Amino acid sequence: MNSDQSIKCAMEFIFNGQFKEADSILTNILARFPDHSDALYGRAYIFFLAQRFDLAIGFAGKAIKLRAKSEYYTILGKALYCQGHWVEACSVFKSAITLNPSNDQAFNAIAKVLVDLKEYDQAEFNFKKAVELQKNEFEYWNDLIDFYWDQHLYELALTIAQKSVQANPGEKVYLFKLALVLQTLNLLEEAILIYKKIIHIFPQEYGIFANIGAILFQLNHLDEAKKYLEKALYYQKDKVETCVNLALVYMATGSLLKAKVILQENYNKFPLDFRIGLNLGTVLFELRELDEAENLYNTLIEDENFINLSEVEQCKFYYNLSSVLLAKGELKAGWKFMEARHVLLTEYVDFKEIPLWDGKVFHGNLLLRSEQGLGDIIQFIRYIPYIDERLFIFFEVPKAIYRLIILIIEQMELGKRCKIFCLGNKVQEFVQFQTKLMSLPYLLKINNIPLIQPILIENENDIQVSNDKLNVGICWSGNSNYRFDRIRSIPYDFFSDLLNIEKVKFYSLQPDYPEGVFLRKNIIPLPQGDLLDTAYLIQKLDLVITVDTVIAHLAGILGKKVWLLNRYGGDWRWYEGSNDRQGNNLWYPTITFFQQEKIIENEATWKPVINKVQKALKNYYF
């Protein structure tokens, strides 16, 4: 075999990852011909791939002294770049391009250097040139897409991803990249179409089933998500992310036992995977196995590897643990760990320059931020009177609850030191500190649930109720955009028998419902308006029957009798830890719970609850 054939054989070994075999051939060539430039280049290539950049630079430099070839300069430039010599690398790549204007590798490589040198216009030109020279090289398309993405030019990134697919039709990596770009841009339906195209071409790409399932779960298409995720996990049993997503779908559809089984099995396999442990704790909480959930979270938090998690991942554990502790009535620790939500939940982007209140300063103006749902605002408003009187409060609330909160604040005799304003108005010039409403018990060190007197609202509208029937308000579902709304809401048709009780007049407290639904039943639609208008109606009623929504909080703070239709697990505030010794809920003493008693993996689990409500309602005053 002559030297040219030996070089060709060595390069084939390099491309196949057989570096020892290649280096043996090249070393033998150099033993006979010390100035063989291609052999020197070959060794430079091997050392570069082995990340021995100093040796790569040395061998490439020797090769260049013997013969100026574009590929020699290219490998030298790459090694210099990896050693942090950006300017030198840039100069070397230019030499490579001068020697061979069609050297696509050099164009792509110099573009990366120019990005680091913040010469973005030149970098863009060179990225595009590499793609132009070699349209079937995925790395070049990928780098150009990522370049535009990093420059926040998202539309251009999407355009290039689409062009890459057009230039390489039917190629999996290009389709997958396009789908990822669409998914990251939250163009979820379009991403699903691309993922399905990949499956059509490559039916055994089971990981794509997992991607589709995750997006469908995000879109709240739970049944379809379950189908894709189950298939993905069947073929890829050890994929942790698929396991977690499928378990979440099971939880969202009420299949708690299935979720527990799949998570427990994978936790036993991968006890150090914190994602599995986090969600297993959530299932245990929903199954009302509070001690087990607490022990699991504490075990993981105390693990030596916990410190390696990101702040966001750590705070997920703290926040979940807070729900367990609050459900058990351990308020002091619960309030503390609940502070982790600041890292997890959407932060207000305005007024960031205003310092956070530490609960210890008792003079000046305090901006109080409402957070999470409207029910949370009503629930935690009871802590406002405990803020020191020397602080004047600016309380920011959403428009839907603005008028109601004004009246509640007046009822609590706080009007002189608390100003209510709508979310979005400018107040920063008036305040020195800010905090969130649900942080008050932690900051004020209040480790009990203060009793709030029923709020009495003088009715200013003309709502008429029956004088000879029991007036009952009902609310059967919450916000359908909430990922776990399906397990807390009840199909409207389940109320059919309930609504036929003759001596009861029903009033809808449901803000949204299918058009014409009330024409078939004995129920009065909810009048148009905000939560204050709803409060006017509730105050005239004898009883409110509702699932876990803001209506439960509103009726509770008005002191009305509330029958809460609660799922098997439920929110922490409805657990026994929030009850007094007589079993009355401390947040709202007028609430009576109609709880799911069995875990049934479909909506039929509500039928026994509705039957109990129907029986109780027939016996009410009759």
Strand order in the sheet with 391-397: 418-422, 391-397, 364-369, 433-436
Residue 595 DSSP one-character state: E
CA distance 594 to 612: 8
User: Is 373 within 8 Å of 473 (Cβ atoms)?
Assistant: no
| pLDDT at residue 529 in the model | 84
In the predicted model, is pLDDT for residue 461 greater than 70?
no
The answer to the question of residue 210 being in a domain is: yes
For the chain, the domain total comes to: 4
What does the pLDDT average to over 14-42? 87
Q: Which of 270, 300, 297 is nearest to 284 (CA)?
A: 297
CA dist 259 and 252 (Å) reads 10
Mean pLDDT, residues 396-420 taken together: 92
d(CA 76, CA 41): 9
pLDDT of residue 373: 87
Tokens of 146: 């990522």
User: Phi and psi for 390 in degrees, rounded to 5?
Assistant: -75, -10
Q: What's the average model confidence in pLDDT over 388-412? A: 93
Do 409 and 542 lie in one domain? The reply is no
Kind and range of the H or E run holding 452? none
The answer to whether the Cα torsion of 232, 236, 241, 247 is positive or negative is: positive
Q: What is d(CA 301, CA 617) in angstroms, rounded to the nearest whole number? A: 47
Listed in sequence order, the residues at least 6 apart from 273 whose beta carbon sits closer than 8 Å to its beta carbon are 240, 266, 267
Q: Structure pTM? A: 0.82
CA gap 411, 189 in Å, rounded: 48
As a whole number of angstroms, the distance between CA 290 and CA 271 comes to 20
- Pick the last residue of a domain from 397, 427, 443: 443
CA distance 37 to 96: 16
Does residue 534 lie in a domain region? yes
CA–centroid distance for 435 within its chain: 23
Whether residue 478 sits in one domain with residue 416: no
Residue 167 domain-assigned (yes or no): no
Is the same domain home to 513 and 573?
Answer: yes
Q: Are 494 and 614 in the same domain?
A: yes
pLDDT digits 0-9 by tens, 182-224: 999 999 999 999 999 999 999 988 899 999 999 999 998 999 9
User: How many Å apart are CA 369 and CA 328, to the nearest integer?
Assistant: 27
The reported pLDDT for the residue numbered 517 is: 59
Band of residue 527 on the pLDDT scale cut at 50, 70, 90: confident
Quick one: tokens of 405?
């909160």
Radius of gyration of the chain (CA): 33
Question: CB of 197 within 8 A of CB of 211?
Answer: no
pLDDT at residue 81 above 60?
yes
Q: What is the pLDDT of residue 513?
A: 67
Grouping H, G, I as helix, E, B as strand and the rest as coil, residue 564 is strand
In a 3-state reduction of DSSP, which class is residue 603?
Answer: helix
Flag whether pLDDT at 516 surpasses 60. Answer: no
- What pLDDT is stored for residue 492 in this prediction? 82
Q: Do 534 and 595 belong to one domain?
A: yes
Question: Nearest-CA neighbor of 63 among 34, 92, 23?
Answer: 34
Q: 585 phi and psi, to 5 degrees?
A: -70, 130
Residue found by looking up tokens 């993996």 in the block: 601
Q: Can you tell me the mean pLDDT for 37-42?
A: 89
Q: Where residue 283 sits, what CATH number does that domain have?
A: 1.25.40.10
> CA-to-CA distance for 132 and 149, rounded, in angstroms?
19
What is the per-residue pLDDT across 224-275, written as a single tens digit (0 to 9) for each?
A: 999 999 999 999 888 889 999 999 999 988 899 999 999 999 999 988 899 9
What pLDDT does 1 receive? 58
Q: What is the DSSP letter of 563?
A: E
342 occurs within a structural domain:
no
Instruction: Write out 383-435 in H/E/C secondary structure.
Output: HHHHCCCCEEEEEEECHHHHHHHHHHHHHCCCCCCEEEEECCCCCHHHCCEEE
Question: How sure is the predictor about 97, in pLDDT bands with cuts at 50, 70 and 90?
Answer: very high
Same domain, residue pair 559 and 594:
yes
Does residue 178 lie in a domain region?
no
Strand order in the sheet with 543-547: 523-524, 504-508, 470-475, 543-547, 562-566, 591-595
Regarding whether 109 and 214 lie in a shared domain, the answer is no
What CA–CA distances, in Å, run from 526 to 233, 370, 371, 540, 614? 45, 26, 26, 13, 22
Same domain as 297, residue 377: no
d(CA 603, CA 506): 23
Pick the range with the lowest mean pLDDT from 108-112, 488-492, 550-554.
488-492
* pLDDT at residue number 387: 95
Closest Cα partner for 202 from 162, 247, 172, 168?
172
The pLDDT value given to residue 605: 82
Q: Would you say residue 154 has pLDDT above 90?
A: yes
Please tell me the predicted confidence (pLDDT) of residue 460: 61
For 516, the domain range is 470-618
Residue 251, CB half-sphere, CA atoms under 13 Å: how many? 25
Q: How much is the pLDDT for 477?
A: 85
> Which one-letter DSSP state was computed for residue 75?
H
Share of the chain above pLDDT 90, in %: 65
Q: Can you tell me the distance from the alpha carbon of 286 to that of 599, in angstroms, rounded to the nearest whole number? A: 10
Report the Cα 361 to chain-centroid distance in Å. 35
Q: Is the pLDDT of residue 558 over 80?
A: yes
Round to whole Å and give the CA distance between 172 and 110.
27
Q: State residue 94's pLDDT score.
A: 95
Give the residue ranges of DSSP H helices in 219-340. Answer: 222-235, 240-252, 256-269, 274-286, 290-301, 311-327, 331-338
pLDDT, position 289? 95
Domain boundary among 443, 462, 496: 443
Asked whether residue 3 falls in the same domain as residue 53, the answer is yes
Co-location of 324 and 373 in the same domain: no
29-32-36-40 Cα dihedral, nearest 10 degrees: 50
* 213-219 LR contacts (CB < 8 Å, sep 24+): 213/242, 213/245, 213/246, 213/249, 214/241, 214/245, 215/183, 215/188, 215/191, 216/192, 217/245, 217/248, 217/249, 217/252, 217/483, 218/188, 219/188, 219/189
**Top-confidence residue, 377 or 427:** 377
| pLDDT in the model for residue 526 | 81
Does residue 479 sit in the same domain as residue 422?
A: no
In a domain, 180, yes or no: no
> How high is the pLDDT of residue 175?
96
Tell whether 176 is covered by a domain: no
Helix (H, G, I), strand (E, B) or coil at 118: coil
Rounded CA-CA distance 449/329 in Å is 10
- Model confidence at 521, in pLDDT bands (50, 70, 90)? low
Q: What mean pLDDT, rounded, does the chain reach?
A: 90
Query: Measured between alpha carbons, how far is residue 537 from residues 40, 459, 542 in Å?
Result: 88, 8, 10
In a domain, 150, yes or no: no
pLDDT of the residue at 511: 80
In sequence order, what are the beta bridge partners of 579?
A: 585
- Average pLDDT of the segment spanning 101-114: 95
For residue 488, the model assigns a pLDDT of 86
Q: What percent of the chain is predicted at pLDDT more than 70? A: 95
What is the arithmetic mean of pLDDT over 314-337?
A: 97
Residue holding tokens 């110099």? 110
Q: Which amino acid is at 369?
A: R
Residue that wins the pLDDT comparison between 534 and 495: 534
| pLDDT reading at 622 higher than 60 | no
Q: Are residues 321 and 405 in the same domain?
A: no
* Structure confidence at residue 395 as a pLDDT band (50, 70, 90): very high
Of 304, 330, 356, the one marking the end of a domain is 330
CATH of the domain at 524: 3.40.50.2000
State the pLDDT at residue 474: 93
For residue 267, the model assigns a pLDDT of: 93
Confidence of residue 453 (pLDDT cuts 50, 70, 90): confident
Residue 202: partners with Cβ closer than 8 Å, 6 or more residues away: 172, 208
Q: Is the pLDDT of residue 459 over 80?
A: no
d(CA 243, CA 8): 47
- Report which listed range, 110-114, 426-430, 528-532, is most confident: 110-114
